[in-house]
Amino acid sequence: MRISMKKLEEFGAAFLIKRGVPEGNARHVSKVVVETEAFLQSTHGLAQFTALAAALGKTIDPEGEPEIVRGKGAVVLIDGSRCMGNLAVKLAKKEAAEMARAQGIGFVAVRNTHWIGALGPHLISIAEEGLLCQVWAQSSTCKDCAPFGGVDACFSTNPIALAFPGDGHPVVADFSTATMSMSAATALKKKGARTATPRFLDRAGEPSDDPSVLDRGGSMMFMGGDEEGHKGYALALFNEALTVLAGGSANNPDTDLYQSFSLMVLDPEAFAGADYYAKEMRRFLAHVKSSRARPGFGAVRLPGERGFQALEECRVRGVPLDGEKCSMLRKLATDHELDFEELGTIPASGNRVDPVVLRGGGGDG
Amino acid sequence: MRISMKKLEEFGAAFLIKRGVPEGNARHVSKVVVETEAFLQSTHGLAQFTALAAALGKTIDPEGEPEIVRGKGAVVLIDGSRCMGNLAVKLAKKEAAEMARAQGIGFVAVRNTHWIGALGPHLISIAEEGLLCQVWAQSSTCKDCAPFGGVDACFSTNPIALAFPGDGHPVVADFSTATMSMSAATALKKKGARTATPRFLDRAGEPSDDPSVLDRGGSMMFMGGDEEGHKGYALALFNEALTVLAGGSANNPDTDLYQSFSLMVLDPEAFAGADYYAKEMRRFLAHVKSSRARPGFGAVRLPGERGFQALEECRVRGVPLDGEKCSMLRKLATDHELDFEELGTIPASGNRVDPVVLRGGGGDG
C-alpha cells in the first residue's frame, strides 16, 4: 500500500493540531517526518508520530518553542524548552547556515529537546544550498551501550550525520556510533532475527548475535564491535562532551529524558570557493564511482543515493506502508478522531498515478 | 633500551638542522615526534624522522613555512607550501584556538602539507587549555581503501581525532576511518600476522584477514568491515570533502602526494560555561568508569588514558626503543654524521634514573 506524501503530511499535521500544536509547527514537523520515512529511514520516520502521541502534553509542551539562550561570534546556544525536536532542528539550521554565510562556519548547540528522529534528512536542505555540515546527537538517560571494555550501559546510541554538496544530489550519511540504532535492534528482535556477527553484549559482557539480550540486562556494542568498538566509543564520548558543552545532561540515569545535538555548517566560499569545490568534487566522485563493484554488491553507491531514489519515487507513487505502519496510522487516527481511510492510496504496482493523490504538486507539499 | 625524551628531541633537532631546517622549527618538530612516540603511537612517532629524511629537500622544503591564504569570521585557510606537516599543525592550532576564544569556535582548513603523523597528540595541548576539538585528515594519492561495496582503492586511511577536557587529563582519541592505519597494517605484514576477523579485501574484492593482500592489489576495508564499513566510508568521504573545501586535492592518482587536514576548536565559555562543563564532565566520566569491566578487560578506560600513563613514564624513565627503532636511529645518525651512542640510556628495568639523562628537566624539554 502506498499513500501520497501530501496526504500523509496532512494527516500528521491534523493529528498534531488535535494535540494542541500550532498549525505552522504541525505542518513543518509532519513534513519532516514524512520525508524521513520516504528517505528510507523508516525506523525513524512515521514512528515519530507514535512517539509524539505518547509525549505531547507530557514531556513535550505542544506550544513549546526553542529559545536562543546566547550567541557569540559564530556559535549559538539553544534551549529546547521541552519543544518538539524538529522545531529545535529548524531553528538550529537557520542560525547555523546564516552564521556560515557570514563567518565561514556556524555552530549551534541545542539542549533539552525531544527526539529529533533521523539526523540525515535534516541536513539535505543545508547541503542543497552548497554548504557542508555535520551533526552529533545524544540522549540523556538511555542505557544502550556500555563503554568499550565495560559491561554496564551508560550511553545512548549517539548518532552522527554529515552531508555535503555532491554532483547532483548531496552526499548524506547518517549512522549510530553503536553497531546499530536501538530502533533497528528492536525491529530485529520482533522478527526473532540474529546478526551475522556479534553486535551485542549479554549481561555478563560476552559478545552475542541475539538482540533479545537487550531485554535481559545486555547492551549494544559500539560501532566496530569487539575489535574496533573503541572507535565508536570515542565518537560517542565526543557527542556526550558536546552535550555538556551545551549545558545539557550527559548520560545520567537520574535525570529526565532529553535529547541534545550540535550542528556545524561550513561555507566553501570562505575557503577555496564554491567553484573550485564543485569542480574538484565532481572529479573525485566520478573517481570513486569508477571503482568496480565487489561480488554481491550491484554498484558502488554514495551515502544517501538510495534515499534520494526512494524519495523521488515516493513523490510520484506515494510512500510504501507495510501492515504494521498502516495499523499504527489507523490507531493514531482512531485515537484522534481522524479518518485514516480518507487518505486515499496509490496502487503498489503499475505506473498509473492516481490523479487525486497527486493534487497539490505530487505530494511534495 | 630506553632513551630520555630530552636526548631524543636533541638528536632529532640536530638531524633536522643538518638537513637545512631552521633551529626553532627543528626543535618544535622533534619535540612533537618524540611526544607522539611516548604517547604510545609508535607507528606514527619516531618513524616520522625516517619519512622526513626521505622527503626533506625533495617534496618538503626545509625552510618551508605554512602560509595563511585567507581568513573570514571564524575560519582560516592555510596553504602548507611544502612545509613539514607539524609546522602547519602548529599554526592551525594557534589560529583555531584564538578564534575559539573570540568567536566560540575556530575552524582551520589546511592543504598541501606533508605527513602530520598521529593526530591525537597534537590535540592534547588544546584540550589542556579547556577547549574541545576535532581534526579530520586525508592524503591525496594513497590507494588504501576501496569505497564500500567497491574493489578499486581510491581513499587513504583518512584518520579522525578528537579531544576534550576530562577529569585530570583530557580525553584524546585518534583513529583511522579504515579498519587500521596503513602503518599498523605494514607492521602486521612484517610479522606475518593475520587479523582475528577480515579487515582487508583481496584484489577480487573478497574479505581477507591477511595484510599481505595489500601488496597484491588488495585494499583495506573501512572501519566496521564487511557489516558496518559504510560508516567508515561515510566518515572518510567527509574528510575528502573538507580537503576539497580547503582547495586541496581529494584522492587522485594523477596528483602529487600532499596531506590536508581541518581542525575545529570549541570554547565551553561561549556555551554553558567552563564551570558547568567541568562539573558535569566529572560526574559523567565517573559514571562511565563505574561500569564493570568485561571478562578479559582489566578496567574501563577512557581514550588516551594509557597514552598519558606511558608519557609520564617516558618523562621519568625515557622512551622504550626496540631493536628496529634503534637501528633506524643509528642509520639516521650515520647518514647525518651524528653520534647516536652519545645519546645515553636509562636501564630498561630498575628505578634508578641516570642523572646525566635527566639533565635539563627530566626529558620534558
A282 close to B (CB below 8 A): no
A254 close to B (CB below 8 A): no
Q: Quick one: B16 and B79 in the same domain?
A: no
pLDDT exceeds 80 at position A361:
no
Q: Enter the C-alpha cell of residue A11.
A: 494527516
pLDDT exceeds 70 at position A358:
no
pLDDT of the residue at B352:
34
pLDDT of the residue at B341:
76
pLDDT of the residue at B42:
84
CB contact under 8 A, A150 and B277: no
CB contact under 8 A, B245 and A277: yes
Kindly indicate whether the ipTM for this predicted assembly is greater than 0.95, answering yes or no.
Answer: no
- In tens, the pLDDT along A92-143 reads 999 999 999 999 999 999 999 999 999 999 999 999 999 999 999 999 999 9
Q: Quick one: B253 and B138 in the same domain?
A: yes
- In tens, the pLDDT along B61-114 reads 999 999 999 999 999 999 999 999 999 999 999 999 999 999 999 999 999 999
B344 close to A (CB below 8 A): no
pLDDT of the residue at B357:
27
- In tens, the pLDDT along B325-343 reads 999 999 999 999 998 777 7
- Best of A162, A230, A243, A245 to substitute, by most chain B Cβ atoms within 10 angstroms, is A245
A215, part of any domain? no
Q: Quick one: B140 and B173 in the same domain?
A: yes
Q: Quick one: A137 and A256 in the same domain?
A: yes
- In tens, the pLDDT along A330-347 reads 999 999 999 877 775 544
Q: Quick one: A22 and A80 in the same domain?
A: no
Q: Quick one: B234 and B121 in the same domain?
A: yes
Provide CB contacts within 8 A for B104, sequence distance 6+. A72, A73, A74, A75, A107, B74, B266, B267, B270, B271
pLDDT of the residue at B43:
86
pLDDT of the residue at B339:
86
- Give chain A positions within 8 Å (CB) of B279: none
pLDDT exceeds 70 at position B349:
no
pLDDT exceeds 70 at position B361:
no
Range of the domain at A157: 67-178+228-277
A342 close to B (CB below 8 A): no
Per the prediction, chain B carries an average pLDDT of 92
B252 close to A (CB below 8 A): yes
CB contact under 8 A, A75 and B273: no
- In tens, the pLDDT along B31-51 reads 999 999 999 988 899 999 999
CATH code for position A248: 3.30.1370.60
Give the pLDDT band (50/70/90) at residue B365: very low
CB contact under 8 A, A303 and B153: no
Burial tier of A316 (Cβ tally within 10 Å: 0-12, 13-18, 19+): middle
- C-alpha span between A25 and A88 (Å, rounded): 11
DSSP string covering A337-360, please?
T--SGGG--B-SSSS---HHHHTT
Looking at residues A176-204, what average pLDDT do you find?
Answer: 94
Q: Enter the C-alpha cell of residue B276.
A: 558547568
A240, part of any domain? yes
Closest C-alpha to A115, from A184, A42, A39, A29: A29
CB contact under 8 A, A228 and B231: no
pLDDT of the residue at A146:
97
CB contact under 8 A, A293 and B103: no
- C-alpha span between B362 and B365 (Å, rounded): 8
pLDDT of the residue at A8:
96
- C-alpha span between A96 and A353 (Å, rounded): 39
pLDDT exceeds 70 at position A37:
yes
- Best of B288, B297, B302 to substitute, by most chain A Cβ atoms within 10 angstroms, is B288
pLDDT of the residue at B246:
98
Q: Measured between CA atoms, how close is B175 to chain A, in angstroms?
A: 7
pLDDT of the residue at A342:
73
A293, part of any domain? no
Q: Quick one: B236 and B318 in the same domain?
A: no
Per the prediction, chain A carries an average pLDDT of 92
A213, part of any domain? no
Contact residues, A window 161-190, toward B, CB-based 8 Å cutoff: 162, 164, 171, 173, 175, 179
- In tens, the pLDDT along B253-269 reads 999 889 999 999 999 99
Residue type, A275: D
Q: What is residue B344's three-state secondary structure?
A: coil
Cα A202 to Cα A226, A227, A237, B173, B209, distances in angstroms? 13, 17, 22, 26, 27
Q: Quick one: B273 and B148 in the same domain?
A: yes
A364, part of any domain? yes
Residue A77: closest CA among chain B residues belongs to which residue? B271
Which residue, of B239, B262, B277, is where some domain finishes? B277
- Give chain B positions within 8 Å (CB) of A240: 284
Q: Quick one: B71 and B55 in the same domain?
A: no
Closest C-alpha to A236, from A160, A287, A341: A160
Residues A152-187 as b/e (b if ≥16 CB within 10 A, e otherwise) read bbbbbbbbbbbbbbbeebbbbbbbbbbbbbbbbbeb
pLDDT exceeds 70 at position B351:
no
Number of domains in chain A: 2
B273 close to A (CB below 8 A): yes
pLDDT exceeds 70 at position B174:
yes
Give the pLDDT band (50/70/90) at residue B344: low
B223 close to A (CB below 8 A): yes
Nearest by CB: A271 against B75, B105, B240: B75
CB contact under 8 A, B284 and A230: no
A160, part of any domain? yes
Give the pLDDT band (50/70/90) at residue B172: very high
Nearest by CB: B205 against A238, A268, A295: A295
Q: Quick one: B80 and B154 in the same domain?
A: yes
Reading phi first (left if > 0) and then psi (alpha if -120 to 50, else beta), residue A7 is in: alpha
- Give chain A positions within 8 Å (CB) of B197: 197, 227
Which residue, of B241, B258, B277, is where some domain finishes? B277
B150, part of any domain? yes
Q: Measured between CA atoms, how close is B325 to chain A, in angstroms?
A: 27
pLDDT exceeds 90 at position A24:
yes
CATH code for position A57: 1.10.1530.10
- In tens, the pLDDT along A153-184 reads 999 999 999 999 999 999 999 999 999 999 89
Give the pLDDT band (50/70/90) at residue B345: low
- What sign results for the dihedral spanned by CA atoms B222, B227, B230, B231? negative
pLDDT of the residue at A345:
56
Residue A233: closest CA among chain B residues belongs to which residue? B303
pLDDT of the residue at A161:
98
- In tens, the pLDDT along B278-292 reads 999 999 999 999 999
B290, part of any domain? no
More confident site: B200 or B257: B200
Q: Quick one: A27 and A84 in the same domain?
A: no
pLDDT of the residue at A339:
86
Phi then psi for residue B112, to 5 deg, are 55, 45
Q: Quick one: A262 and A311 in the same domain?
A: no
